[in-house]
């Protein structure tokens, strides 16, 4: 009887190797401990696996949001311009450099969106919401949301966030917080001025309309501003350069 | 009538004597204020030394508000008696220390009295700073004077009656405070003495690592015997007990690594100690850290607590099975099936003193609120523990804690849902 052919030995060796490897692998799905994914496990507990929030609940999706916008929010939470106990507590002993890296990690993720939930709005709410988003209300000094956040409302890199795919409760809470001063951005804080010009019914209509929108084919932020912003906004490089 | 007058008279006399005693005790050890004006020029070397000492004393932790101007005050320190607000230490004439002389500053650090003579609340840890040398006080003063002045009024403390009165504070100080001097121990070397000076004085470690009585004064036979931090509900573990946070059997380099990087082969820091490392100890020199390590290793040791009888350990708790199931669902991914963790990323839970120490406060807080290790030069991109407060209810959290305290040979007491609630 002839001895085992070379390929048979190879097969034996391969099986042995893969058996060893399978044994060495943890029986659970664990990210590489040195990776950024492993370092931000504390974030995804609320913001969903890989920063992709589910549509139930409050926590906003952070995957794919513009990097500078996310970095600024992390600074705001750490330094008390935004108030949310869990965020402030987690970030209080982290450096600017590391927060910038965390922001970049989530900004670089391009993950599919879950289906948009259906929110019941009255025809009047739909109309008012769409009007404020697309046109604004010049008489009251309210620019259209789309004039800064992009015509497709997916945001503009690097500092203007998209407005789609966010829970309505989250949108309501942000506009409310800006009105009462518990959410602040760098001066001049344009969103604070806009939120203070909105009344409660405006906010409800805008948040409902935005949360109802289907996601466009590409949800990545537009690459750069192509036109001047209607207001001065702190933390937006192009707008700051213009001043 | 005459008897009444005599009684009244003796009462009055006793009252006056007590008053004189309280006043005398409050003023003891004070040196007269000779300089009343700030100096015209600052010595650059003294300023630089003061900058370093302010890091060692972690002054910014209280005197710089989150996102606020450095050392302009305004941060509220929660106490069981109300909130004490840290003052503006910048040299602003009207609202800061602009009119203070070095003598005024020395009296505040050593005796706890303000420029205008008011008694200061001991949330300002002058009970520890009293050990400072005059030279170090002058250096801190010089550095504070070198800061840009910030006009920001001090917030009035929000304290309940009678704690909000100077009279109550005077009585408290008469009972619990006396100015001291640091006396080097001639039987120890210079490094040990330097460590003792930093740990007991400027570092004010015992402000947290010691139990306090109902009046908020440090108590206990051991200076660093551990205590629950009021309101914050973190337990500052005993530095004198092998089953808590004693480092008596650690190599000096591991203690230095913990204080410098926030992480060491034997443990890492979270919560208030992460704050200490982030704002204070990571900035200290290696010789000073080694000196602190030498002193901490030499602290008198208390015996470990008796293990609980088998029937009352977490192993016997009916909640353990639920805890194990939740552990396997939510925790095993990082901390491993044997609680072994991954060095440099996720801490081992097997043999971890935070898991097994008598007080479950820190275990509960970390489960509920999560936390990142401090980002330091030695560990610039730390890993973080997710908060599970919105995932587990109190009963589930108690079950997870109970499981951890009985797994892998641990023999600690179980944790109840009530305790989880108490330490939220």
Contact B387 A42 (CB under 8 A): yes
Q: What pLDDT shows up at residue A25?
A: 39
A95 at B interface, C-beta within 8 A: yes
Segment A121-141 shows an average pLDDT of: 96
A103 at B interface, C-beta within 8 A: no
Q: What pLDDT shows up at residue B166?
A: 96
Give residues 3 to 42 of A whose Cβ lies within 8 Å of B: 26-30, 33-34, 38-42
Q: What pLDDT shows up at residue A14?
A: 44
Residues of B in contact with A98 (CB under 8 A): 375, 380-382
pLDDT exceeds 90 at position A241 = no
Contact B332 A91 (CB under 8 A): no
pLDDT exceeds 90 at position B218 = no
A97 at B interface, C-beta within 8 A: yes
Segment A202-215 shows an average pLDDT of: 95
pLDDT exceeds 60 at position B321 = yes
The structural domains of chain A, ordered by start, are 36-242 (1.10.760.10)
Number of CB pairs, chain A paired with chain B, less than 8 A apart? 93
pLDDT grade for B183, boundaries at 50, 70 and 90? very high
Q: What pLDDT shows up at residue A217?
A: 86
Contact B387 A40 (CB under 8 A): no
Q: What pLDDT shows up at residue B295?
A: 98
- Strands, E, within B59-212: which ranges? 76-79, 82-85, 158-159
Residues A26-51 have pLDDT tens digits of 445 688 999 999 999 999 888 987 76
Q: What pLDDT shows up at residue B312?
A: 77
Average confidence score pLDDT of chain B: 94
Q: What pLDDT shows up at residue B377?
A: 97
Q: What pLDDT shows up at residue A117?
A: 81
- Read off φ and ψ for residue B258, nearest 5 degrees: -60, -45
Nearest Cα of chain A lies from the Cα of B57 at a distance, in angstroms, of 17
Contact B66 A90 (CB under 8 A): no
Q: What pLDDT shows up at residue A239?
A: 59
pLDDT exceeds 70 at position A240 = no
Residues of B in contact with A30 (CB under 8 A): 333-334
Residues B81-94 have pLDDT tens digits of 999 999 999 999 99
Taking residue B116's Cβ as centre, other Cβ atoms within 10 Å add up to 7
Percent of chain B with pLDDT over 70: 99
**Quick check: ipTM above 0.90?**
yes
Q: How far apart are CA B272 and CA A198, in angstroms?
A: 41
Q: Which is more confident, B317 or A243? A: B317
Q: Are A219 and A165 in contact (CB under 8 A)?
A: yes
Residues of A in contact with B373 (CB under 8 A): 93
Segment B400-405 shows an average pLDDT of: 97
Residues of B in contact with A43 (CB under 8 A): 384, 386
Domain spanning B310-422, CATH class: mainly alpha
Percent of chain A with pLDDT over 70: 83
DSSP A121-182: --HHHHHHHHHHHHTEEGGGTEE-THHHH-TTSSEETTTEE--SS--HHHHHHHHHHHHHTS
Q: What pLDDT shows up at residue A56?
A: 57
pLDDT grade for B317, boundaries at 50, 70 and 90? confident
Q: What angle do CA B178, B182, B185 make, to 5 degrees?
A: 130
pLDDT exceeds 80 at position A57 = no
pLDDT grade for B168, boundaries at 50, 70 and 90? very high
Contact B342 A33 (CB under 8 A): yes
Best of A27, A82, A93 to disrupt the B interface by mutation (most B CBs within 10 Å)? A93
Domain extents in chain B: 24-176, 198-297, 310-422
Q: Are B388 and B368 in contact (CB under 8 A)?
A: yes
Take residue B298 and report the two structure tokens written for it: 């030499």
pLDDT exceeds 80 at position A211 = yes
Q: Are B80 and B227 in contact (CB under 8 A)?
A: no
Segment A63-80 shows an average pLDDT of: 96
Contact B374 A42 (CB under 8 A): no
Q: Are B139 and B54 in contact (CB under 8 A)?
A: no
């Amino acid at each position: 009887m002839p001895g085992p052919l070379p390929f048979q030995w190879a097969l034996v060796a391969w099986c042995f190797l893969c058996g060893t490897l399978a044994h060495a692998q943890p029986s659970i799905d664990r990210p590489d401990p040195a990776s950024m994914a492993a370092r931000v496990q504390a974030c995804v507990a609320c913001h969903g696996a890989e920063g992709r929030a589910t549509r139930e609940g409050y926590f906003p999706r952070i995957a794919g949001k513009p990097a500078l916008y996310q970095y600024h929010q992390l600074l705001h939470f750490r330094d008390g311009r935004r108030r949310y106990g869990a965020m402030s507590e987690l970030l209080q002993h982290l450096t600017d450099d590391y927060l910038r890296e965390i922001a970049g990690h989530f900004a670089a993720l391009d993950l599919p969106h879950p289906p948009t939930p259906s929110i019941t709005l009255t025809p009047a709410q739909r109309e008012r919401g769409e009007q404020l988003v697309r046109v604004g209300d010049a008489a009251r000094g309210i620019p259209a949301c789309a004039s800064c956040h992009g015509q497709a409302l997916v945001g503009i890199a690097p500092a203007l966030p998209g407005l789609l795919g966010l829970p309505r409760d989250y949108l309501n809470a942000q506009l409310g917080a800006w009105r009462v001063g518990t959410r602040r951005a760098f001066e001049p804080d344009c969103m604070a001025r806009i939120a203070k010009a909105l009344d409660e019914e405006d906010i409800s209509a805008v948040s409902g309309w935005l949360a109802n929108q289907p996601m466009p084919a590409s949800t990545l932020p537009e690459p750069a501003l192509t036109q001047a912003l209607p207001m001065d906004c702190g933390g937006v490089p192009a707008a700051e350069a213009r001043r | 009538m005459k008897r009444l007058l005599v009684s009244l008279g003796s009462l009055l006399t006793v009252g006056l004597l007590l008053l004189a005693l309280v006043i005398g005790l409050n003023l003891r050890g004070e040196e007269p204020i000779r300089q009343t004006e700030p100096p015209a020029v600052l010595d650059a070397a003294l300023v630089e030394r003061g900058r370093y000492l302010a890091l060692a004393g972690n002054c910014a932790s209280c005197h710089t508000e989150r996102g606020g101007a450095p050392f302009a005050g305004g941060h509220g320190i929660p106490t069981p008696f109300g909130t004490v607000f840290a003052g503006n230490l910048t040299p602003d004439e009207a609202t800061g220390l602009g009119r203070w002389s070095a003598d005024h500053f020395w009296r505040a650090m050593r005796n706890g009295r303000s420029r205008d003579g008011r008694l200061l609340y001991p949330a300002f840890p002058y009970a520890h700073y009293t050990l400072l040398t005059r030279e170090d006080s002058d250096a801190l003063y010089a550095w504070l004077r070198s800061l840009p002045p910030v006009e920001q009024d001090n917030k009035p403390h929000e304290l309940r009656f009678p704690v909000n009165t100077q009279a109550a504070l005077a009585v408290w100080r008469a009972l619990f405070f006396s100015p001291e001097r640091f006396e080097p121990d001639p039987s120890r070397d210079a490094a040990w003495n330097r460590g003792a000076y930093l740990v007991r004085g400027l570092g004010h470690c015992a402000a947290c690592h010691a139990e306090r009585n109902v009046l908020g004064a440090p108590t206990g036979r051991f200076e660093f015997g551990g205590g629950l931090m009021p309101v914050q509900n973190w337990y500052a573990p005993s530095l004198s007990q092998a089953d808590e946070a004693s480092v008596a059997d650690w190599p000096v380099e591991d203690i230095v690594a913990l204080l410098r990087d926030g992480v060491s082969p034997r443990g890492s820091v979270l919560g208030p100690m992460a704050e200490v490392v982030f704002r204070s100890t990571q900035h200290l020199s290696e010789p000073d850290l080694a000196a602190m390590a030498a002193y901490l290793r030499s602290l008198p040791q208390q015996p470990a607590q008796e293990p609980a009888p088998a029937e009352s350990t977490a192993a016997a708790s009916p909640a353990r099975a639920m805890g194990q199931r939740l552990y396997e669902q939510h925790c095993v991914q990082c901390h491993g099936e044997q609680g072994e963790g991954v060095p440099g990323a996720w801490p081992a839970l097997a043999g971890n003193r935070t898991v097994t120490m008598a007080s479950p406060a820190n275990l509960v807080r970390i489960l509920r609120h999560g936390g990142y290790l401090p980002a330091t030069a030695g560990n610039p991109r730390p890993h973080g523990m997710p908060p599970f407060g919105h995932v587990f209810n109190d009963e589930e959290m108690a079950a997870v804690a109970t499981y951890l305290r009985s797994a892998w040979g641990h023999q600690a007491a179980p944790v109840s849902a009530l305790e989880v609630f108490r330490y939220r």
